[in-house]
Amino acid sequence: MVTAGAPARGPHQKEEPLIYRSPNFRDRLTSAAKARSELLTKFRSAPGPDDPAVRERAAARQATIRAREARAAAREAARQARETETAAQSALEADRIAKAELQAAQAAAKLGREEAELTALLAAEQAERDAALAAEQKVARDARYASRKAAKKERRRGF
């Protein structure tokens, strides 16, 4: 398809260089130079570091930075206070647990002593009962022995 302003090309013809296309090369050069000069003008017209608006923005940035640092310091102080409080609570809890364990150990020791005393008392009573039983048995055995001996003696005399 051939457009109105473009020449027809055959299969053996080279493509046209960019210089001859619309907008032409000179127009593009002038528009580029104009854009550069506008950019330079814009840069030159920008306020310098001594401009009050620039100083005001810099001061606002510094104030923002200081406020941010103050908030960070306040957060850090609050974090440290929480850690200190947590450590104090942990120490109190550990102390309470240690006291409870000590009381439990003392109660267990007292119970152990009482059990040992009761066991010793029961053992002493059992030993006393065993001794009394042994004494009764000996008395009964001695009585049987004496009665047998007496019966034997009587048989020897009586016959």
Give the CA angle between residues 140, 142, 148 to the nearest 5°: 105
- Quick: pLDDT tens for 14-38: 555 555 555 677 888 889 999 999 9
Structure confidence at residue 7 (pLDDT): 54
The amino acid at 113: R
Q: How far apart (Å, rounded) are the C-alpha atoms in residues 110 and 116?
A: 10
Backbone angles phi, psi at 90, to 5 degrees: -65, -40
Residue 152: the pLDDT is: 87
Domain residue limits, the chain? 22-158
Q: What is the pLDDT of residues 118-143, one digit of tens each?
A: 999 999 999 999 999 999 999 999 99
Residues 6+ apart with CB under 8 A from 49: 55
pLDDT (average), residues 31-54: 86
